Copies of this chain bind each other. A is one copy, B any other.
Amino acid sequence: MTKPLRLGVAGLGTVGGGLVRLLTAHAGRLALRTGRTIEITAVSARDPKKDRGLGNALGNVTFHADPVALAKDPGIDVFVELIGGETVAREAAEAAIAAGKPVVTANKALLAHHGRELAAKAEAAGVPICFEAAVAGGIPIVKALREGLSGNRIDAVYGILNGTSNYILTSMAESGASFEDALAEAQRLGYAEADPGFDVDGVDAAHKLTLLASLAFGAAVDFNAVHVEGIRQISALDIAFARELGYRIKLVGIAKATDDGLDVRVHPAMIAAESALGHVDGVFNGVVVQGDFVDQMAFEGRGAGAGPTASAVMADIVDVALGLHLPLYGVPVAALGGARVIPVTSRFGASYMRLSVVDRPGVIADIAAILRDEQVSIESLLQRGRAPGEGVPVVIVTHEVQEAAMARALARIAALESVLERPTMIRIEEIK
């Protein structure tokens, strides 16, 4: 048997604790699969004395206060980065790379912002950076894109990549609750942070989508070029109308290769209820990949939590133990393709818009005239309820139209005196 693989684990929070438990539970199984013992020999954590309920699992390990010192510890072969953030995590990862040690990380923000630089450094040092746990929790989607589907030109990737947002949208759909109430419930249950912006404003999903798009297209996509919208504006009313129209509202990440560049964006969208992502509910994540030979592939699983994330981290560690070494984005840095991201204004697609209008004759005619002027073609129009002289909802579904034209129409409609609130616009996306 080869000598043991010695792990240095930075961070003993939820995921770190899960990893310790996984290694304790499956040491024998993992040794059989890799032909060597895998053991944690050093860790770093803010408070080494804190009781993490891990019993004697960490009995003999070296504790470091500083993750960078851990990364440099000659007693570890692999640096497992589970602290998050972009400063210390980056410094520690770079220290590990400089010391010739493979890096396993769950840090999507780090890679979405600095992936290309880290990939170049790792390549120069001849060590792999593995990040299965950074995207879609337990779903082995990085492995699928980098290896399992490597015989395909990937044309598109669609994902429900943030469990917190999906939980909130699902709970709004089930209970009819408002965003605020559903968020409060998610916070009470521990599915949402006290400061939920990272999740509900789409940032976390965009980090993950940046990585998926980079892998799919063999290009280092610039996170800052990705259009990002969150779910705070979604109302229970929109969710109910969506259902009536045969759709579900989901926070989706979309990455498509087009002739003009990469179309990469995160926003709430209406997707067909019976599409592969339409039934991905609650804290689950889902990813759909469209490849030229494989056609459509869908993956669904838990996107977060100690167990699923530890499962993904462990898969990377097993790869390292087996000597599998792939470039971060699947291809060498020098071979990365163009990653021009096209602006969302060039989107061409259908949309849903909901208006609150004064219930009086002529209002619909004004709106229809604006849409006609802007060349936005109406697929259907619903007006519900009567309340003469007061506000009633009007829902319009458009045919496919250029986003810029849609934006002009919306601005003009919003300015009508008979339109009472800022119009809601939700893109309708076909997952294919």
Contacts and interface: CB of A to CB of B under 8 A. Distances in A.
Interface of A: 18, 22, 25-26, 29-30, 32-33, 132, 138-140, 143-144, 147-153, 218, 274, 276, 279, 291-302, 305, 307-308, 310-315, 317-319, 322-324, 326, 330-332, 335
User: Which 10 pairs show the lowest CB-CB distances between chains A and B?
Assistant: A140-B148, A151-B314, A138-B294, A294-B311, A297-B301, A293-B307, A293-B311, A298-B300, A32-B331, A143-B148
A360 to B, nearest CB: 43
B153 A132 contact: no
Given A147-B319, A153-B26, A33 B293 contact: no
Given A293-B18, A293-B307, A151 B299 contact: no
Copies in the assembly, this chain: 2
Contact of A311 (B152, B298, B311): B152
Contacts of A32: 218, 331-332, 335
A291 to B, nearest CB: 7
Contacts of A297: 138-140, 299-301
A301 B294 contact: yes
A22 B307 CA distance: 37
Q: Is the interface of A mostly helix, strand, loop or mixed?
A: mixed
Nearest to A38: B151
A315 B151 contact: yes
Contacts of A324: 322, 324
A118 B57 CA distance: 39
A272 to B, nearest CB: 12
Contacts of A150: 30, 33, 314-315, 318
Contacts of A313: 151
B151 A311 contact: yes
Contacts of A33: 150, 330-331
A293 B302 CA distance: 10
A149 to B, nearest CB: 6
Contacts of A147: 140, 143, 315, 318-319
A315 B149 contact: yes
Contacts of A301: 294-298
Contacts of A149: 138, 140, 311, 315
A151 B298 contact: no
30 contacts: A22-B151, A22-B293, A26-B151, A32-B218, A33-B331, A132-B148, A138-B291, A138-B297, A140-B143, A140-B144, A140-B148, A144-B144, A147-B318, A149-B315, A151-B311, A151-B313, A151-B314, A152-B311, A292-B307, A293-B307, A293-B310, A293-B311, A294-B301, A294-B307, A294-B312, A295-B308, A297-B299, A298-B301, A300-B300, A323-B323
A293 B138 contact: yes
Nearest to A317: B151
Nearest to A331: B32
- Most central of A144, A153, A274, A313 by chain B CB within 10 Å: A144
Contacts of A300: 276, 297-300
A323 B324 CA distance: 8
A295 B291 contact: no
Nearest to A298: B300
A324 B148 CA distance: 13
